[in-house]
Chains A and B, each alone.
Chain A
Amino acid sequence: MGEFKGFMNYDKQQLHELSLVERLNHHDAFQQRFTKDEAAQQGARCMDCGTPFCQTGEPFGKETIGCPIGNYIPEWNDLVYRQDFKTAYERLSETNNFPEFTGRVCPAPCEQSCVMKINRESVAIKGIERTIIDEAYENGWVQPKIPKHRRDESVAIVGSGPAGLTAADELNKLGYNVTVYERAHEAGGLLMYGIPNMKLDKDVIRRRIDIMQQSGIRFETDTEVGVDISREALNEAYDAIILCTGSQNARDLPLEGRMGFGIHFAMDYLTEQTQYLNGEIKAPSISAEGKNVVVIGAGDTGADCVATALRENCKSIVQFNKYTKQPEAIEFDENTYWPLAMPVFKMDYAHKEYESKFGFEPRAYGVQTMRYDVDRVGNVKGVYTQILEETDEGMVVVDGTERHWPADLVLLSIGFIGTETTVPHAFNIQTERNKIVADNKDFRTNQPHIFAAGDARRGQSLVVWAIQEGRAVANAVDEYISEKTFV
């Protein structure tokens, strides 16, 4: 365990961040790792619980309790406390293929369910994780894992998001010949194009893809399966195929005026911004520069839009939140929420940035969008809303609260309804409610040699669940191929 009584002696520390003002001038990552000493002190706070809830990894309703991939958190906390970063890295790698991703973008259900969270601040698990992996890269400990014996069988993975990359990494370690197909220009999927650079530096992804390539994994980018390469060709060439096509079909808000110009899906906006930064396109077609921006939807993607628009030097932003503003803090006799999150008000990085620039935070609460305000030439001018109130019967619109919000750009960030249909159609794969039908034990679709994992199977979720699925599907595929070979 960490230091005896360390949790009573030290407070939680957040990762270092660039100043709220300075960071708006560029798209560089705003967060930095701990120093080794800082990480060690944070590691000292870990109580090495007999029952480490941080490791639970159970979905509970819409929430997740603890780490889905069961990271050996108490164990590497202790190693970090002893400043043995190398072993900590090895221990971390046993369960997590890509700590540099989760260490940056995971919402950290581990911290939420950390036992210390019952009555104090959690261990800075995510920060420690990030520091371990950064330290590992800096010291050159992250090396390609070239299998000792290369097998004859090969596997195709469709989609290079976190699930696909994980499956590729795992199967390659087992000696399979793995090819990853990606329709975009660069591999990484949502990691590459869905998450803005300031949160996840694209070089971090490239660095990993590089190592994976050196390990023997082939990446076929700019290749859309079902379009650029046929189902037959894949069936012919591979012993198994894993579909990790994600859940990119965005949820629409088809209200009056939806056809107006200037109303876009958030993901389109963010993708273009990344493509632009990457140099894939000359200029983005959607820009927030000098505009009044309305972001509909209160999730992380919405916040990413806020942050990106800020960097584009927009005029104003408001982010609509359907729900009433949560209390700043809850007074309680006993924490009846833990290990679930306590419903209290939180400021994301984007909101703090906005507040620092404009003096108030960008969110509006209890807001129901009624219709878009579109001018005669078809440009969006604003959005009409009403107030929603929480009652016993659920959220109810309050009459007479209509309001107009001026907007030149409206970004829809209200989630995803499921996977796109191209690939399932091409392979004749059964879907249900926009998800590919496969269970979480053998991950098999209705086609015996085709497997599905990640958001395409389970629906929109966290990167860490994608990693969990990627590892599990790799096992399932290995079992499938081994059985087949044995027979």
Chain B
Amino acid sequence: MLEYGKKIGLYDSREEHDACGIGFYANMDNKRTHDIVEKSLEMLRRLDHRGGIGADGVTGDGAGIMTEVPYSYFAQHVDFELPEEGQYAVGMFFTNEKIAGSKHEAQFNNYFEVEGLTVLGYRDVPVDTHAIAAHVAETMPYIQQVFVALNDVSLIERTLFLARKQIEYYAQQQQLDLYFTSLSHRTIVYKGWLRSDQIKALYQDLNHADYVSKLGLVHSRFSTNTFPSWKRAHPNRLLMHNGEINTIKGNVNWMRARQNRLIETIFGDDKDKVKEIVDEDGSDSAIVDNALEFLSLAMEPERAAMLMIPEPWLYNKANDANVRAFYEYYSYLMEPWDGPTMISFCNGDKIGALTDRNGLRPGRYTITKDNYIVFSSEVGVVDVPESQVAFKGQLNPGKLLLVDFNEHKVIENNELKARIANELPYESWLSQFKVNLDLENIKYQPSNWDDATLMRLQKQFVYTKEEMDKYLTELVENKKDPIGAMGYDVPIAVLNEKDETLFNYFKQLFAQVTNPPIDAYREKIVTSELSYLGGEGNLLQPNETVLKRIQLQRPVLTEAQLTAIEQSHLDVAHIATIYSGDLETALEQIGDKAIQAVKNNKEVLVLDDRGLVERSGYAMPMLLAVSHIHQLLIREGLRMKTSIVALSGETREVHHVACLLGYGANVVVPYLAQRTIEQLVNQQRLVGDIFENVQTYTDTLSEGVIKVMAKMGISTVQSYQGAQIFEAVGLSDAVIDKYFTGTQTKLSGISIEMIDQENKARQTPKSEYIESGSTFQWRQQGQYHAFNPTSIHLLQHACRLNDYEKFKAFSHEVNHKRTDHIRHLMEFKKQTPININEVEPASEIVQRFNTGAMSYGSISEEAHQTLAEAMNQIGGKSNSGEGGENPQRFIVDEAGHNRSSAIKQVASGRFGVTSDYLQHAKEIQIKVAQGAKPGEGGQLPGTKVYPWIAEVRGSTPGIGLISPPPHHDIYSIEDLAQLIHDLKNANKDANITVKLVSKTGVGTIAAGVAKAYADKIVISGYDGGTGASPKTSIQHAGVPWEIGLAETHQTLMMNDLRSRVKVETDGKLLTGKDVAYACALGAEEFGFATAPLVVMGCIMMRVCHKDTCPVGIATQNQDLRALFKGRAAHVVNFMHFVAEELREILAELGLKSVDELVGRTDLLNRKSNLASRRPKAAAMNVEALLYQHEGDRFRKIEQNHHLEQGFDLTELYPDAQIAIDQGQSFKGKYQLKNEQRDVGVITGSMITRAHGAEGLPEDTIFAETTGHAGQSLAAYTPSGLTIHHTGDANDYVGKGLSGGKVIVNAPNAQREDEIIVGNVCFYGASHGKAYINGKAGERFCIRNSGVHAVVEGIGDHGLEYMTGGRVVVLGDVGKNFGQGMSGGVSYIFPSDVAQFKADNKLASLDFDEITVDAERNVLKDMLEAHVRYTDSLKAKKILEDFENVAKKVVKVIPKDYKLMMQKIDLQKQQTDVLDEALLNAFNDKREVLAPEQQRTAVY
């Protein structure tokens, strides 16, 4: 069985991810009962759907429980005397052999004794292995307990920690595979590689009535893999964790760098007994546990938790000043541990729960009148009679909830933090000692270089015209990372014949599935660009000297600002990174210099290649220099004493800055790029003055980095620094180990000598001019692009003329003797060929072909329909993309043209995702990421939202649309499982597929996705196309599909999951040969996008984002669309050509069908004749790609989606079926539990099937439910279905609502002020009504486009991205309200109108008053309905005094929306033809209307 930390083939166990359901149940009056243990375990069982289950359906991913040490139980059940409660500790541990009675026992005992403790005895923990699968039982360790008398030692935790550490080191040497689940005098942890319902059956102790505890913390794990994970089950010793720490690598590095000092501070003379703080082989959760546990030896755990996972404070001016000061102060001392996370910790005296700044993990709690608390990811996991409820709440983003058993109560966030923040005078320290250099006001100094010098440097660093005109200029002009279109079709750096910069060997990592990216624009409040220079103080000895570091607003500076720092109190050393000999030696030399400098108390090291201005030589790749020095100083224990500045001529792109920061630079000064901006101003390519433009450039680079970080879900620059959120492609393992230690990489590549050669060659100018550059634009003189004039024209001619010979010429052009892709490093082995007639026909093969997801909106209707028609003709599938689809296309026309996309995509914007849309899918694809911009959302600018696009997307013409970076219902793997479940409910006949982008670790993610019951997984290459995406992302994010596909196939095989899912791949597949490679590496279906576009006429203009496509493909402009000449027949020809070429290859390999080739890496060899002129390519090792596992290589088994056991198919639908079919009314009453998810979804889908998009008349099918509704109540329900639920509900109520009605009634009037529905309700809803008689969680009505809802209060990020509909909020809103809201209207009744307006002011929103009667009546009607359904007290109160409503309500309306609605109204007065009116309004580009043209009110 596989051990953690091992690699097999491409699989690396360190890439595993997990997520989970967590919860605790406790009595705050310290009453111990067995019932608490029972209920906690029941809670665990009810969270089962959040846990993972292996391919066998029995194996879980891990579960566990923490309780108090059951003193009285142990007193009866150990065969030795135990002291009084609190006088002894219990260690529960796993080993691979029994310790008691072994030679190790004496050693163990000795370590305890050295610390003043006495071992009382050992106990074998009684287990019943019948409960678990046989293969799991085989892996079960010896589970033992050791009882230790404390003997009045003074610092108990510290002493136990020391003993444990020493035993751990001993066990490591003895290879005992020891793991302490807990060692404490207060708490104990029972856990294992179990399903949540197995823990109780395995551990006999837990069933005993004498086993009592005042608390129980439980955890159910969903891991991406199903491998032995006894240790990795939660809870950990101090905490349990739901989520992921994205910055873990940086945190570990920084922790390692500062650990000596911290260990010494705590342990003094005993410091040598503790070698390290964190176990770097542990999972991220275990590492967080290590760190928190360690810090808790020196402070209260809640304070330690605040330090590690701080609230966002920088943009959060509303916080208590002391608390902000506390956070700011500690930002000088430690970077945040950042990621979507919720932790819960317990030391016996206290239980805490904390969500990170984004609050992307749900946490709901209930406090009872008899002082119990239930806290969990969901409500309804412990039955509490409504009469017993004292309070229901939700843990909001960044908040901390603390149960203090000594105070018998919950200490509320603000009180707790204020208390902690007042312990030391942080605020006064900051006001007195914070260094302020006023850098913002230091002007950029124009250079005194002559033009020749500037040009010489630009040439040496290979600045190109393309970069100057289309990167630097655009970046400054538009103040953002420049946008490009179509995919990247240049070979990856290591395969490029041209000399590449080292930066290009690093690909940005991004979040997908197991953690979400974030929206750094709309959710800026959580971000921070702060960075620090100077040595770091001691975290454990807070005092004012800590503040002598210099705080920087941004990590990118100018030379003048650097000079100011040099003139400050910090001691600065410059280390030149110019060399002329060999690079390796030169690196060693600067390493020595750096060490010496730090030893001489230099607090800032400036790695500097500016010397090239005066002298000749080569600049080291700055990234290499920075990472080398960073790693070296960590190893030497010197890193925290200094900081690193990269003063670099090479650095000019956002990606470069991101790399430098990610590998350890604290500050970057891109001096040559700044000089180039100066030059561009002087040449009048940029308007404005030099200072302003350079500043814009510098600031925009910083902001660009924020966006790169956001792709990984990281919010603060500080935690991004050194976090190495990159994957290297093409560097040798030796280079990685030595200079980029810990960086992920799959295939070993070039050596340091080759880096040196390439660097020197690159810095030797080849022409006397500045080169054109050909990164995105093709140039005859430039580098190879897969799509070049020759390949494009051959492909077009071949398909138009149906000329296979021409196609072969095309295929020859792109495949023959080329080494542009990783696949080209391999060749098929010679086999005995068969006659091609024996191979399955092309008509069969083409059914495995799909076209890529291109939204209607990014491409024209003509192009979109042509693809659909072509693919339907051949039995392949086209993909709707994320923009919805015109319902008229669902119907096959009289001529037999079927223009309906077989694959309907569901992306984060949920445009057009209605019940009807989903019904018409053969396959529903969840786009988690897109090759050209993984980890990012999208934006369709208003100028492209033509009326017909708006109609299909359910939005307003001319108003820009945002696809958020994350799916707001997928923050983790168990969320994805839920979304898959939702969509399967919404159309139970469709296959659900999940599209991922290739990156290191995608295989493990894919395994998780397979366990989440996806039917197919798509692995997209990084080179996939886009209609608009930052160039940084097109080029630098993600890796080629070969790596991700092979890893996915291998990992699925290892987990026995490959037989359950299909695997598809895409990314610049052009020929049958390409498909053959993909097939052999593990794909059975294949996607094509750019090639079919080219067949239809695309000539790679790369202007899709500009709406000027001259061949009518990627444009909505009617004049240009008229020029579209693509034909379905041509696309059909292409598909057949590819299939035909694949048949030829199959015949040569002696195979009769595509299935026979899937995963046959044994048929591939590394290419033997990689030409000597391609030394870089020849250095690549591809062995790992070819690793083969035994077992089924393609899908043979259908996934079991467990729909039959669900509420709808067991209860509601059977009851309502006849009524639905006949369109008659039906009313039923039901009781719900949290495990019953997707209530009403299948029933709703049946209404749509029977009655179309229109559904049935309102309230025809009426279900009255009570209790705790599971997730996704009434999702996607159409008109005609009403669900009236009394009680509360979990997340995603009314998601995608398509006309139905949802009422959630508080169980009684007291509950109206509390939360009754969870997070992300009515996400992407398009139509329908909702009445929520209580507060909703975060992100209420996000991307709502038409639902009319009444709710009594909402959490943070309310109405985010909303594009339509009407929302009445009878209460307060949370933070960050209305961000990205571009349509619809909201009426807020806040507790303080003035305060609301002050707190929620946004440039995009108007706060209006209601002046018109008609509008007043609309509002009144909604309130009256709300009262009718829910008896809402608040609504009643407003209605009682409705004449004065204007004083209480704030009408919120997006400005753009209001203007456009007024324009439409104006146009409607001109013409009766609606389409014409809309188009005229769309074309009316006025920014203001004359007062008389402004309609009185838009509502």
B780 and A339: CB pair below 8 A?
no
C-alpha spacing A334/B777, complex, angstroms: 25
A51 and B778: CB pair below 8 A?
yes
Determine the chain B residues whose CB is within 8 A of the CB of A162 once the complex forms.
none
> Contacts A334-B1125, A339-B789 given: A47-B1108 contact, CB under 8 Å?
yes
Determine the chain A residues whose CB is within 8 A of the CB of B1100 once the complex forms.
49-51
B778 and A52: CB pair below 8 A?
yes
Q: Which of B793-801, B845-853, B917-925 contacts A (4 or more CB under 8 A)?
A: B793-801
Of A66, A74, A339, most buried by chain B (CB within 10 Å of CB) is: A339
C-alpha spacing A70/B779, complex, angstroms: 8
B1099 and A57: CB pair below 8 A?
no
| B1127 lies within 8 A of chain A by Cβ | yes
A70 and B781: CB pair below 8 A?
yes
A47 and B1103: CB pair below 8 A?
yes
B772 and A72: CB pair below 8 A?
yes
Determine the chain A residues whose CB is within 8 A of the CB of B780 once the complex forms.
55-57, 66-67, 70
Closest chain-B Cβ to A66's Cβ sits at a distance in Å of: 6
A52-75 near B? 1/0 per residue, CB < 8 Å: 110111100000011100101011
Closest chain-B Cβ to A94's Cβ sits at a distance in Å of: 5
B777 and A50: CB pair below 8 A?
yes
A118 and B1099: CB pair below 8 A?
yes
C-alpha spacing A336/B799, complex, angstroms: 10
B792 and A51: CB pair below 8 A?
yes
Residue of B at shortest CB range from A116? B1110
Which residues in chain A, 116-130, are within 8 Å of chain B measured between CB atoms?
116, 118-119
Closest chain-A Cβ to B1121's Cβ sits at a distance in Å of: 12
| B1119 lies within 8 A of chain A by Cβ | yes
Partner of A115 from B485, B781, B1099 at Cβ < 8 Å = B1099
Residue of A at shortest CB range from B797? A336
Q: Which of A4-12, A32-40, A442-450 contacts B (4 or more CB under 8 A)?
A: A4-12
Closest chain-A Cβ to B183's Cβ sits at a distance in Å of: 63
Closest chain-A Cβ to B1025's Cβ sits at a distance in Å of: 12
Determine the chain B residues whose CB is within 8 A of the CB of A287 once the complex forms.
none
| B1391 lies within 8 A of chain A by Cβ | no
Closest chain-B Cβ to A62's Cβ sits at a distance in Å of: 16
Which residues in chain B, 753-788, are within 8 Å of chain A measured between CB atoms?
767, 769, 772, 776-781, 785, 787-788
Residue of B at shortest CB range from A57? B780
B772 and A119: CB pair below 8 A?
no
C-alpha spacing A4/B1103, complex, angstroms: 11
| B1123 lies within 8 A of chain A by Cβ | yes
A47 and B1101: CB pair below 8 A?
yes
A52 and B1111: CB pair below 8 A?
no
Partner of A336 from B486, B801, B1126 at Cβ < 8 Å = B801
Determine the chain B residues whose CB is within 8 A of the CB of A65 once the complex forms.
789-790, 793
Determine the chain B residues whose CB is within 8 A of the CB of A336 once the complex forms.
797, 800-801
C-alpha spacing A333/B486, complex, angstroms: 26
Closest chain-A Cβ to B468's Cβ sits at a distance in Å of: 11
| A335 lies within 8 A of chain B by Cβ | yes
B1110 and A58: CB pair below 8 A?
no
| A113 lies within 8 A of chain B by Cβ | yes
Kindly state the interface size class of chain A when it binds its partner: 35 or more
C-alpha spacing A72/B770, complex, angstroms: 12
C-alpha spacing A119/B1115, complex, angstroms: 16
B769 and A51: CB pair below 8 A?
no
Residue of B at shortest CB range from A54? B789
Determine the chain A residues whose CB is within 8 A of the CB of B776 once the complex forms.
50
> Contacts A51-B787, A51-B788, A118-B1099 given: A5-B779 contact, CB under 8 Å?
no
Determine the chain B residues whose CB is within 8 A of the CB of A50 once the complex forms.
485-486, 776-778, 1100-1103
Closest chain-A Cβ to B862's Cβ sits at a distance in Å of: 13
> Contacts A94-B769, A119-B1123 given: A52-B1108 contact, CB under 8 Å?
no
> Contacts A333-B1125, A334-B1125 given: A49-B793 contact, CB under 8 Å?
no
A113 and B789: CB pair below 8 A?
yes
> Contacts A58-B789, A334-B1097 given: A8-B1119 contact, CB under 8 Å?
yes
Residue of B at shortest CB range from A94? B769
B1111-1139 near A? 1/0 per residue, CB < 8 Å: 10000000110010111000000000000
Closest chain-A Cβ to B132's Cβ sits at a distance in Å of: 58
B1099 and A49: CB pair below 8 A?
yes
| B1106 lies within 8 A of chain A by Cβ | yes
A19-56 near B? 1/0 per residue, CB < 8 Å: 00000000000000000000000000001111111011
C-alpha spacing A66/B779, complex, angstroms: 12
B1127 and A66: CB pair below 8 A?
no
Residue of A at shortest CB range from B1111? A118
| B1201 lies within 8 A of chain A by Cβ | no
B789 and A53: CB pair below 8 A?
yes
Determine the chain A residues whose CB is within 8 A of the CB of B769 once the complex forms.
94
Residue of B at shortest CB range from A68? B780
A63-95 near B? 1/0 per residue, CB < 8 Å: 001110010101100100000000000000011
Closest chain-B Cβ to A335's Cβ sits at a distance in Å of: 7
Residue of B at shortest CB range from A78? B469
Determine the chain B residues whose CB is within 8 A of the CB of A56 once the complex forms.
780, 789-790
Residue of B at shortest CB range from A70? B780
C-alpha spacing A52/B469, complex, angstroms: 16
C-alpha spacing A49/B787, complex, angstroms: 13
Residue of A at shortest CB range from B1117? A8
B1099 and A51: CB pair below 8 A?
yes
C-alpha spacing A74/B776, complex, angstroms: 14
C-alpha spacing A74/B470, complex, angstroms: 13
C-alpha spacing A357/B620, complex, angstroms: 72
Closest chain-B Cβ to A199's Cβ sits at a distance in Å of: 27
Which residues in chain A, 334-348, are within 8 Å of chain B measured between CB atoms?
334-336, 338-339
Residue of B at shortest CB range from A333? B1125
Closest chain-A Cβ to B457's Cβ sits at a distance in Å of: 19
Of B777, B789, B1102, most buried by chain A (CB within 10 Å of CB) is: B789
Residue of B at shortest CB range from A53? B789
Residue of A at shortest CB range from B1109? A47
C-alpha spacing A168/B306, complex, angstroms: 75
B1110 and A119: CB pair below 8 A?
yes
C-alpha spacing A59/B65, complex, angstroms: 74
A4 and B1106: CB pair below 8 A?
yes
Determine the chain B residues whose CB is within 8 A of the CB of A53 once the complex forms.
789, 793, 1099
| B303 lies within 8 A of chain A by Cβ | no
B1111 and A119: CB pair below 8 A?
yes
C-alpha spacing A95/B781, complex, angstroms: 10
Determine the chain A residues whose CB is within 8 A of the CB of B574 once the complex forms.
none
Determine the chain A residues whose CB is within 8 A of the CB of B801 once the complex forms.
336
A334 and B1127: CB pair below 8 A?
yes
Closest chain-B Cβ to A151's Cβ sits at a distance in Å of: 16
| B465 lies within 8 A of chain A by Cβ | yes
B1108 and A5: CB pair below 8 A?
yes
Determine the chain A residues whose CB is within 8 A of the CB of B1119 once the complex forms.
8
> Contacts A119-B1111, A334-B1097 given: A52-B777 contact, CB under 8 Å?
yes
C-alpha spacing A333/B1125, complex, angstroms: 7
Closest chain-B Cβ to A244's Cβ sits at a distance in Å of: 23
Which residues in chain A, 421-473, are within 8 Å of chain B measured between CB atoms?
none
C-alpha spacing A464/B800, complex, angstroms: 31
A58 and B772: CB pair below 8 A?
no
Residue of A at shortest CB range from B778? A51
Determine the chain A residues whose CB is within 8 A of the CB of B1125 once the complex forms.
119, 333-335
Q: 18 additional contacts, CB 8 Å, given A50-B1100, A115-B1101? A: A5-B1108, A7-B1108, A8-B1108, A47-B1108, A49-B777, A49-B1100, A50-B1101, A50-B1103, A51-B785, A51-B787, A51-B788, A51-B1101, A52-B777, A53-B1099, A55-B778, A70-B780, A119-B1123, A338-B793
Q: List 15 A-B contacts (CB under 8 A).
A: A49-B1100, A50-B1100, A50-B1101, A51-B787, A51-B789, A51-B1102, A52-B779, A53-B1099, A57-B780, A65-B789, A113-B789, A118-B1110, A333-B1125, A335-B1125, A336-B800
Binding site for B on A (CB under 8 A): 4-5, 7-8, 47-53, 55-58, 65-67, 70, 72, 74-75, 78, 94-95, 113, 115-116, 118-119, 333-336, 338-339
In order of increasing CB-CB distance, the 5 nearest A-B pairs are A50-B1102, A70-B780, A334-B1125, A56-B789, A51-B1100
